[in-house]
Structure 1
Amino acid sequence: MAIIINIDVMLAKRKMSVTELTEKVGITMANISILKNGKAKAIRISTLDSICKALECQPGDILEYRSDEGTED
């Protein structure tokens, strides 16, 4: 996938646990794990908004684009 979700990086920068983030955002630990592991097919804007509020960051701090090597757009 070309979009990378860097929740683990922001958690480390904010010295916040995954458990604390799930409590602040109101989504399950399983869903946070799906996002962290790059298995998510989509993320709701409202969820992204809640994550950004909890981590005090911008969406660009969490989302990163990397081109897929060897594929054409």
Structure 2
Amino acid sequence: MKQFSSTELANRTGDVLAAAAEAPVTIARHGKPRFVMLSTEQYDRLRHRGETRRSFHVSELTDAEAEKLIGELQDSIDNE
């Protein structure tokens, strides 16, 4: 993924927008990626592709969910 600094975004807006029209770009602040810029078409594809996955921090899992996750990870390792 192409990356621009926030300063480049301010100084070269046209270049950043042109790049984002082709593929998502990362906007970095203080050398660390902070934002992703993408076209509305790309965004709509992401939103409407029927993806139902969610992310959780391990501290948010119930004991049963943690056990299920560990079991599925172990099965995946065993089947390699």
Q: TM-score range by the shorter chain?
A: under 0.3
Greater relative CO, 1 or 2 (CA 8 Å, sep 6+): 1
Return the TM-score normalized by structure 1. 0.23
Return the TM-score normalized by structure 2. 0.22
Q: Could you say which structure has the larger radius of gyration?
A: 2
